[in-house]
Amino acid sequence: MPTDTPQPAFVLVRPQMGENIGAAARAMWNFGLDRMRIVAPRDGWPNPKAVAMSSGAGRLLDEAQLCADVPEALGDCTYVFATTARQRGLTKPVYSPERAMQIAAQKIASGEKVAVMFGPERAGLENEDIAKANAIISVPVNPLYASLNLGQCVLLTGYEWMRQSAEVVHETTDLGRKGEWASGVEVEKLVEHYEERLDAAGFFFPPEKAEGMKTNLRNLWSRMRMTRSDVQMLHGIMRQMVRWKERGGE
């Protein structure tokens, strides 16, 4: 059974190739969407090529709702978007995918049932299909090459849905399995270690410039976001250099 997560239904209208249905299923499942409705697929249903292309999203295909026509697919919906890359001359609001999914999230949160229609690969939705929609989703693409693959269009819309329904982390740092950021105390001990050893080596010279050099060095450390492993490695480097020098290294 589909999950209970509130979400729009994605309606594939007369899709032509099983591979594209599978790609659409995979794209939906990438973003936690599992309510697919398939209207009059050209090559019949079920389609083994769709399953092969779905790459692990076969459950979504097993639970997909097969519909004879568009009215059946939209029968329980209160608000419908139609995706198209062409100007149709129809008086309807036209939204970007981002804005459309913002509206979808608002309507679903208020209890409405929302659907997004995607057209067949060759020419997209017919005007007759779009006339059944409340609004249009238009992707800002290269006007000289505006055609999007079915799976690509589903993926893009699914991503915009996820941005509205879940927190997106826009930047992070992979610290590895054992990585932790170094604390202020750990960094301060590293700074003291280096200052002590560099001072003993006569690095802070001449004396009147020593404090300024130490300030510049501390500023360098503060610009380096270090993990605990980084700090330990830098301690080890300095200790090894001191040992090497004490053994008479040149």
Beta-carbon contacts of 2 under 8 Å, excluding residues fewer than 6 positions away, are 34, 35, 63
**What residues does 113 pair with on adjacent strands?**
none
Long-range contacts: 211-214, Cβ < 8 Å, 24+?
Answer: none
Local confidence pLDDT in tens for the 250 residues of the chain = 567 889 999 999 999 999 999 999 999 999 999 999 999 999 999 999 999 999 889 899 999 999 999 999 999 999 999 998 777 677 899 999 999 999 999 999 999 999 999 999 888 899 999 999 999 999 888 877 877 899 999 999 999 999 997 766 677 777 766 578 899 999 999 999 999 999 999 999 999 999 999 999 999 988 888 889 999 999 999 999 988 888 876 6
Q: Cβ atoms within 10 A of the Cβ of 146, count?
A: 14
pLDDT of residue 81: 97
pLDDT of residue 2: 67
Rg (CA), the chain: 30
9-165 topology per CATH: Alpha/beta knot (3.40.1280)
H or E segment to which residue 82 belongs:
strand 79-83
- CA 240 vs. chain centroid, Å, equals 44
- Among 202, 178, 199, 187, smallest CA distance to 235 is for 187
0.75 surpassed by pTM:
no
CA distance 120 to 130: 13
pLDDT of residue 25: 97
pLDDT of residue 55: 86
The two beta strands, 65-67 and 36-39, are: parallel
237: tokens are: 């480097």
CA distance 245 to 227: 28
pLDDT of residue 175: 74
CA distance 111 to 6: 9
61: tokens are: 């295909």
Domain ranges of the chain: 9-165, 184-246
